[in-house]
Structure formats: C-alpha cells, structure tokens
Amino acid sequence: MISNRSALRFPWGAEFRAISAACLVCGIGYLALKSDRGDFEIFGRLDVLVVSVFSAVPISVLMADQIARKSKIVRFGLVALLALIVVSQIGVWRILLYEFGMSAVALSIVRGALAVITMTLPLACLNVFKTLVAGGDRIEKSSLVPALFVVVAVSIPGVYVDSVSKTLASQLRQSLSNDRPTVALGHARRLSQLRPQTRIDGLAIVSLLDSLDDRIDQLNAIVRRPISPTAPTGAIAMRVTSLVQLELFDQALVGLKPLLSGERFHPASLDVYGLCFQRLGDPESSLVGYQMAIQYWTAQIESNQKRQSLASAWKGIAFAARQLDQRSMEEHAYQQLLNVAPNASNCLLMAKCYKHHQKMDLAAKYASQAFELDPASRSELDSITSELARDHFGCLSGVR
C-alpha cells in the first residue's frame, strides 16, 4: 500500500536540527540581553525572544531546506548573505527603534523577520553538511504553506509582545506610584524596546527614561556624599530615603538606626523600617516595624499626619499578614484601615482581601461601597459579582 507522502512534514532529521538551532539562537540571545549589548534589543526580554524564535521555526526550516537544494556555490553564498544580515542588524534595529519610531505592526513584522533570518542561518549551515535523502519527507510545494508560516512567525510574537507590553506598562505605573525609580527604569527600558511609541500618562517612554536616569543620578549623588555621625536629622532622613528609592534596603536600615530611638527619634522611621523589611522579603520583621508605628501613632492627638501614618502602617500590617498567611490579622488590618481612611481605594483593598479569602459576599459588599465612592472602580465590582455568580452556580450544580 502506497503511503501518501504529500502531507505536510519536515525533512528527515529536521526536528533535531530545528531544535538545536533554536536553542543556539536562544542561548546567544540570552547572553546578549543579559550583557545589554544591544544585539537583540528589539526583543527586549528573553521570553519574547523564545516565542519569536520558535514561531519562526516552520518558515525557517522551509527556507533552509530550499537553500540546501541549491548548488554548493549558491548555498555558501546564501549562507554568507544571511550571516552578513544578522551581523549588520546590531546597529540597524537601534536606528529603526529610536530614530524612525516604528509602529507596533511594523515592529512585529521586523521582529518576526529578524527571528526568521537568525533561525535560518544556523539551519542552513547545518543543512550544508547534511545531504537530504532523495524522496524523503518533504514539505509539499504549495504557495499557501509558506504564507501560513510567515503569518505564524509574525502574528504569534506580535500578540505575545502586546500582552507583555501591557503588563510592563502596568508594572511601570505601579513602580512610579510607589516611588521606586530603579524598578521603574528597568520596566521602562524593556517597554521602550518592545513598544518605543508607548506613552505613560502622556509622557513619551524615551522622555521618561531620561527623567528616570536623571533622578537616579541625583539619588546616587546624595548617597555618595559623605555624612557626619553628628549630621542633623533631616540630612540622615534624606540619605535613608534615597537609599530606599535606590532599592538599597540593607544600607537604608543601617542609616536608619539613629532615627529609631533616642534624641534623634523620628516617627516616620518606624514606617520606613517596616517598608525596608517588606521589600527584603522578611514579613516578620516588617510586621514588627509597622506594629511599633501603630503603637506610637495611636497615642498621639488627632491630626492629618496621625491618620495618614496609621493608614500607611495598617496597610503594611495587612501586607505582612498576607505573606504570613494570617488571614484574621489581614482582615482586621484592613478593617482598621477603613476606620482611619474610608475611601474607595481602601474599600477595594478590603474587597480584594475578602475575595482572596473566598468570602465573596463580603467582597461584593465592599466592592459596591467602593463603586458608590468612586464609579471608576466598576470593573472590580463586576469581576467580584461575576465570580460570586459562578460560585453560587457551582453550589447549585452539586444538588441532585
């Protein structure tokens, strides 16, 4: 019985060659991205590179197969041409990214093309030393197949990059909101490589990068400045704040010691103490700092500063409780937070807490309160309401 050999299959042994070539390209790309040399800057992150490379495998195998069928001179000429293109791209992509301001669609096409060329080169080199078996498994000669492979090589990485870019933009805004310029700079750099036309709150990503670089330079200048043991409290506080913003939490804790007790005691140091340990991933020590802040501020007379400080400390306690899986403590902390600052944002925090604890009725209650205070929180209310409906449906589905 004659088998149908016209089905879509790669040449014999192509699977091994394709995987080897993909691993080689991803390995080189990883080293290039890690060194920040700019060779693979258009991919921005390793996961984007991996998705792009493996999406390019089908069309690259097809192209390498066609190259292998040419004469020796043509083969070596095509391989040399591909090598020249790959080497020359180092400076070209930077110009395309930052000088001409390519659109998202154009970037997806360029990114896909680069992945295809970079993948085809090692495959073609392997095929030069591998003679294809006549009559072996081949890709059918159809104009539709290469077109589909091209669509795969461009569209899959394009969709993935769009998702990654949205996540990076959200993380960037969160970092800016939390006054973490070093973290924000990392997100902004990756985002500028993936979507150089992005604007964050109306500011072009390139301008934001310059602003963050200047800010970090200023903070480093403050940190490098010598400080006397007898320096005033304000100077010590500025240095500690700069260290925190530079993510140098161990050094910040050392500089914070004079402000935690004695004549130089400053109540804000208790909150900073808790924050440093929170970001160092030590919830037990973080909890101690925030509890000391609560103890201090509870004994003070009513003022805006007291309310703001208590709100910050209760948020810190709730965060530490979440890390320690102390659910009752977390719920109590958010209740106290609402007593101090009953606004929409804090109602949403309470709702998310109850949602995490699977107390959906209470979550819906506080999400509704948040919506009443701020209609912009409607999306969170809809999310909790729909999840509540699914939970109730699940309970009913078990009745027989």
pLDDT in tens, 26-43: 666 666 666 655 545 666
- Check whether residue 252 and residue 389 sit in a common domain: no
| Residue 3 falls inside a structural domain | no
> Could you tell me if 246 and 347 lie in one domain?
no
Q: Is residue 73 part of a domain?
A: yes
Q: What is the pLDDT of residue 48?
A: 77
Looking at the fold, whether 33 and 146 belong to one and the same domain comes out as: yes
- Is residue 173, in this structure, part of any structural domain at all? no
Q: Which comes out higher in pLDDT, residue 115 or 392?
A: 115
In this prediction, residues 125-139 reach a mean pLDDT of 49
Q: Is pLDDT of 116 > 60?
A: yes
pLDDT of 131 above 60:
no
pLDDT confidence of residue 232: 86
Of 161, 194, 216, which residue sits at a domain end?
161
pTM of the model: 0.69
The pLDDT assigned to 230 comes to 79
Asked if 249 and 137 sit in the same domain, the reply is no
Give 134's pLDDT tier (boundaries 50, 70, 90). Answer: very low
User: Does residue 37 lie in a domain region?
Assistant: yes
Q: What is the CA radius of gyration of the chain?
A: 29
pLDDT of residue 226: 87
> Do 31 and 131 sit in the same domain of this protein?
yes
Statement to judge: residues 251 and 306 lie in one domain = yes
Q: Are residues 40 and 153 in the same domain?
A: yes
Close Cβ partners of 148 (under 8 Å, ≥ 6 residues apart) = none
Q: Which of 190-204, 267-281, 310-324 has the lowest mean pLDDT?
A: 190-204
Query: Is residue 83 assigned to a domain?
Result: yes
Counting every residue written for the chain, the total comes to: 400
Q: Are residues 135 and 28 in the same domain?
A: yes
Identify the pLDDT of residue 383: 63
Domain identity same for 141 and 82 = yes
Check residues 21 and 177 and name the one with the higher pLDDT. 177
Residue range 363-375, pLDDT digits in tens: 888 888 888 887 7
Instruction: Please report whether residue 282 resides in a domain.
Output: yes
Better pLDDT: 361 or 41: 361
Q: 123 in a domain, yes or no?
A: yes
351 and 323 within one domain: no
pLDDT band, residue 310 (cuts 50/70/90): very high
Pair 301, 244 in one domain: yes
Give the alpha-carbon dihedral of 333, 335, 337, 340, to 10 degrees: -140
Q: Which residues contact 79 (CB under 8 A, 6 or more apart)?
A: 67, 121, 124, 125, 128
Residue with tokens 């394709």: 18
Does residue 292 lie within any of the structural domains? Answer: yes
Instruction: Give the domain-ending residue among 134, 161, 188.
Output: 161
Same domain? 295 vs 370 = no
Q: Is the pLDDT of residue 384 over 80?
A: no
Find the mean pLDDT for residues 119-131. Answer: 62
Q: Where among 298, 328, 358 does a domain terminate?
A: 328
In this prediction, residue 142 carries a pLDDT of: 42
Report the mean per-residue pLDDT for the chain: 76
Per the structure, how many domains does the chain have?
A: 3
Determine the pLDDT at residue 144.
Answer: 46
What's the confidence (pLDDT) of residue 161? 81
Q: Which domain holds residue 131?
A: 14-161
Residue 316 pLDDT exceeds 50: yes
